[in-house]
Amino acid sequence: MSGGRRAWRQRWAARVVAERGSAVLEFIVIGVLVIVPMAYVVTSVMRVQAATMASTQAVREAARAFATADSVAQGRAAAVTAAQVAFEDQGFVLPESAMRIQCLRACLEPGSSITVDLDWQVGLPWMPSSLAQGRSMSVPIDVVHVVPVDTYRLTRP
Give the pLDDT score at 6.
Answer: 81
Domain boundaries, the chain: 3-148
pLDDT on residue 20: 64
Q: Where are the beta strands (DSSP E) in 5-48?
A: none
Q: Is 19 exposed, middle or buried (0-12, 13-18, 19+ CB in 10 A)?
A: exposed
In the chain, the percentage of residues whose pLDDT exceeds 70 is: 85
Alpha-carbon separation of residue 38 from 29, 34, 47, 50, 85 (angstroms): 14, 6, 14, 18, 32
Instruction: Give, as one character, the DSSP assignment of residue 32.
Output: I
72: three-class secondary structure by DSSP:
helix
Residue 154 gets which letter from DSSP?
A: P
At 139-153, the pLDDT tens digits run 999 999 999 998 887
Assign 123 to helix, strand or coil.
strand
Average pLDDT (55-75) is: 95
* Per-residue pLDDT, 133: 67
Q: pLDDT tens-digit profile of 5-54?
A: 787 877 777 776 656 667 778 788 887 888 888 998 999 999 999 999 99
Question: pTM of the entire structure?
Answer: 0.75
